[in-house]
Amino acid sequence: MTKTRIAIIGSGNIGTDLMIKVMRLSQVLEMGAFVGIDPESDGLKRAARMGVPITAEGIDGLVKMPEFSDIEIVFDATSAGAHKRHNDVLQGHGKRVIDLTPAATGPYVIPPVNGLEHLDAPNVNMVTCGGQATIPIVHAVDRVAKVQYGEIVASIASKSAGPGTRANIDEFTETTSQAIVDVGGAARGKAIIILNPAEPPLIMRDTVYCLCEDADQAEIVSSIEEMVAEVRTYVPGYRLKQAVQFEHVGSNRPLRIPEMGGEFTGLKVSVFLEVEGAAHYLPAYAGNLDIMTSAALRTGEKIALRMHEGAAA
């Protein structure tokens, strides 16, 4: 089959990792252009060595490239602040956009939860690395027992967080919190990110807390394990770190959480995850790169297949 040409804007950690995944793994997508703003960035230099057309002039440089007319999908791996203009320019040229920033211009997409629902949208948002790791678990609990409150804590190695990630911390918490509700199904959500400066760098760890209605604990565990297996089909380093934990919260000692606006009684579910990266760009501790770019790659491939199915019809 003829591959769909794509461009990636953003020559930092996320964009570079995604480029390598496209070139090594995809049978559907191929690189058409790699875009940055720093001609000395490692990502642009690596792309040039790999034979990918590059520009260090950002979105304006991309539009001027002769390869631009053949590009059908553009991945934006820059910042939430820059994404609005990028999207406006790209939509004006009829390009499909996959947003790896927390800008949340388009609908949220978490592949194992709603990966087929927005394939025709002009812009889709991949939430955040923490969201990709944890929202599937919130959804897995919610499909058994209604989640009244979902809280996630994503801990990533400081070395894996480039300038774009650091500039997006506020947007990370806001976007992830909203996606816990909109995609995960929780009535309320909260997200926390930790940049861990430990040396040697620690692997990505994620903790998910769900306060939900009482339900069969074995059914909840089964749902979570099925979801973990689904995520592992595209992120092999994704795994439960220990057994799912439960705590019954009775009316004699209810929880009082400000975000819930009242007292909670029911079941507390605690899930501890680890995400080992595939080390396509940064070492294996950077699972945050791997889960984000793997989710974007899977989404891009499904969008490309849908686009060409429609054209064939």
Residue 129 annotated to the active site: yes
Q: Which residues pair with 248 in a beta bridge?
A: 267
As a whole number of Å, the end-to-end CA separation of the chain is 16
Phi, psi of 209 (to 5 degrees): -115, 130
Dist. CA 16–CA 9, nearest whole Å: 10
Q: Which residues pair with 7 in a beta bridge?
A: 33, 74
Dist. CA 139–CA 3, nearest whole Å: 33
Report the phi/psi class of residue 51: left, alpha or beta, with left for phi > 0 and alpha for psi in -120 to 50: left
- Helices 13-25 & 287-312, crossing angle to 10 degrees? 50
- 243 alpha-carbon distance from chain centroid: 24
Dist. CA 28–CA 149, nearest whole Å: 38
Q: Could you tell me whether strands 4-9 and 73-76 are parallel, antiparallel, or unpaired per DSSP bridges?
A: parallel
Which listed residue (8, 33, 126, 129) is catalytic?
129
- Helices 287-312 & 129-142, crossing angle to 10 degrees? 80
Instruction: Pick the closest to residue 150 from 255, 259, 266, 274 (CA basis).
Output: 259
Dist. CA 256–CA 254, nearest whole Å: 6
Query: Can you count the helices (H) and strands (E) in the chain?
Result: 10, 14
Reduced to 3 states (helix: H, G, I; strand: E, B; else coil), residue 147 is strand
Q: Which residues have a catalytic role annotated?
A: 129
